[in-house]
Amino acid sequence: MNTTSPDRPNPLLRAKDLAGTGKALRRTGWTAALCLALGLVACDNQKVARLEEGVATEMDVMREFGVPLEIHREADGSRTFEYTRQPAGTANYYITLGTDGKMSALRQVLSQPYLAKVQPGMDQASVRRLLGQPGKKTPYALKREEVWDWRWQDGPTPRIFSVTFDEAGRVVSSGSVEDDEATRTR
């Protein structure tokens, strides 16, 4: 029985027509992701420029960046809003609002000074709080480890920072490599 019609093409013929386009589609997908990431960086730079420390309010921050992924309450009563650009982007922003309701700090935490603070023995919660939400988490059941990855930008070089945790959720190792996927689409 033939169930195809002009309105409903034969799926086998369609699959045959698409054979070999997977590589092109993947390349197009990564190119689109890179363009999106670059667009987010450009937009973020404009948003950051419009926020002035000691002047910008919570409403100003939310108008520019939207609803935060997390709000961290600090010991001094201030609040830190977390904004992630993972997994496609290369930034995680922490914007701190003082007890007076004014922005007191805006930090992009996926940068060398923050990455260098990740040390063996740290727990997952401490790493998560330091760097923000990772772009990817990969469990390795046989090794009893989990690896968290963040995309970040080291000058003009796109990189991936990885942290390996043991089964107790403690840092075993960390390091950075060039982001081959982003580099190939340049």
- DSSP letter at 61 equals H
Domains in the chain: boundaries: 23-184
Q: Over its length of 186 residues, how does the chain's per-residue pLDDT go in tens digits? A: 444 444 544 444 443 443 444 444 344 444 444 444 444 445 677 777 889 999 999 999 999 999 999 999 999 999 999 999 999 999 999 999 999 999 999 999 999 999 999 999 999 999 999 999 999 999 999 999 999 999 999 999 999 999 999 999 999 999 999 998 876 665
Phi-psi sector, 120: left (phi>0), alpha (psi -120 to 50), beta: beta
Beta strands in the chain (DSSP E): 70-73, 79-84, 92-97, 103-108, 136-140, 145-154, 157-165, 171-178
Beta-carbon contacts of 75 under 8 Å, excluding residues fewer than 6 positions away, are none
Yes or no: say if 110 and 132 are a contact pair by the CB < 8 Å rule: yes
Decide yes or no: CATH 3.40.718.10 for domain 23-184: no
Is the model's pTM score more than 0.85? no
